[in-house]
Chain A
Amino acid sequence: MRTIIFRFTAPYLTSLMVLFSIFVLLRGHNEPGGGFIGGLIAASAFAIYGIACGVAPVRRALYFHPMTLAGGGLILAVLSGVLSIVFGIEFLTGLWAFPTFLGTEVALSTPLFFDIGVYLVVVGAISTIALALEEREDD
Chain B
Amino acid sequence: MDGLNGFDADLGYLALALPFIAAVLAPLLTRVMKSHAAWLLALAPAGAFWIFLSGLREVAEGTVHRFGFEWIPSFDIDFSFRLDGLSLIFALLITGIGTLIILYAGGYMKGHKDQGRFLSFMLMFMGAMLGLVLADDLMTLFVYWELTSITSFLLIGFDHTREKARRGAVQALVITGGGGLALLAGFIVIREVTGLTSMSDILAAGDVLRQSAAYLPILILVLCGAFTKSAQMPLHVWLPNAMEAPTPVSAYLHSATMVKAGVYLLMRMQPALGDTTLWMTILPAFGGVTLVMGALLAVRATDIKITLAYTTVASLGLLVMLIGVSSETAIIGATLYLIAHSLFKGGLFMVAGSVDHGAHTREIDKLGGLARSMPVTFLAAMLCALSMGGVTPFIGFLAKEEIYHAVEYADPYYIAIAAAAILGNALMFAAAFIVALKPFVGSMPAEIHDPHEGELRIWLGPLVLGVLSVVAGLYYGVYHEFFSSPMASAAYGEAVEIEIGWVPHLNLAFALSMATIALGIAIYVGSAALRAVLSRMLAAIGWGPDMGFDQAMRGLVRFASKVTNLIQSGRLDYYMTTVVVAVVVALFASMWLADGFPEMPTIPQIKIYEWIVLGLILLGILAVVIAKDRLTAIVSLGIQGFAVALIFMLQGAPDLAFTQFMVETLSVVILALVMTRLKLSPADHRPLREKLPDALLALAGGAGFGLFLLAVIQTPFDSTLSDFFERYSYAIAHGRNIVNVILVDFRGVDTMGEIAVVMTTGLAVLALIRIRVGRRGERTIDPLEKTP
A binding-site residues for B, Cβ under 8 Å: 28-37, 40-41, 43-44, 47, 51, 59, 65-67, 70-71, 73-74, 77-78, 81, 91-92, 94, 96, 107, 109, 111-112, 114-115, 117-118, 121-122, 124-126, 128-130, 132-134
Contact = CB atoms under 8 A, between A and B. Distances in A.
B762 A126 contact: yes
A134 B673 contact: yes
Nearest to B736: A30
A51 B673 CA distance: 10
B740 A29 contact: yes
Given A81-B748, A92-B748, A32 B655 contact: yes
B733 A122 contact: no
A54 B47 CA distance: 68
B741 A29 contact: yes
Contacts of B763: 67, 125, 128
Interface in B725-758: 733-737, 739-741, 743-745, 748-749, 751-752, 755-756, 758
A128 to B, nearest CB: 5
A36 B734 contact: no
A-B pairs, 7 with minimum CB distance = A125-B762, A40-B662, A133-B673, A29-B735, A121-B755, A34-B740, A30-B736
6 contacts: A34-B739, A37-B659, A111-B741, A124-B759, A130-B673, A133-B769
B669 A44 contact: yes
B762 A128 contact: yes
Nearest to A139: B786
A73 to B, nearest CB: 7
A130 B677 CA distance: 12
Contacts of A111: 733, 735, 741, 744-745, 748
A38 to B, nearest CB: 10
Question: How big is chain B's contact interface, by range?
Answer: 35 or more
B50 to A, nearest CB: 42
Nearest to B744: A111
Contacts of A28: 737, 740
A43 B666 contact: yes
A109 B734 contact: yes
Contacts of A30: 735-737
A33 B755 contact: no
A118 B744 contact: yes
A78 B677 CA distance: 35
Contacts of A43: 666
B281 interface: no
Contacts, number: 138
B765 interface: yes
A111 B742 CA distance: 10
Interface string B332-366: 00000000000000000000000000000000000
A125 B755 CA distance: 9
Contact of B766 (A31, A47, A74, A129): A129
Nearest to B672: A133
A32 B737 contact: yes
A37 B663 CA distance: 9
B770 interface: yes
Contact of B755 (A44, A47, A118, A130): A118
A114 B748 CA distance: 8
B102 to A, nearest CB: 43
Contacts of A41: 662
Contacts of B770: 132
Contacts of B659: 36-37, 40
A38 B715 CA distance: 34
A32 B666 contact: no
A107 B734 contact: yes
B528 interface: no
A94 B770 CA distance: 40
Given A81-B752, A130-B670, A67 B737 contact: no
A128 B673 CA distance: 13
A70 B658 contact: no
A34 B762 CA distance: 21
B788 interface: yes
Interface string B757-788: 01101110110011000000000000000011
A34 B744 CA distance: 9
A132 B765 contact: yes
Contacts of A40: 659, 662-663, 666
A92 to B, nearest CB: 4
B666 A44 contact: yes
B577 interface: no
Contacts of A128: 762-763, 765-766
Nearest to A43: B666
Nearest to B674: A133
A109 B748 CA distance: 14
B679 to A, nearest CB: 13
Nearest to A64: B788
Contacts of B654: 32
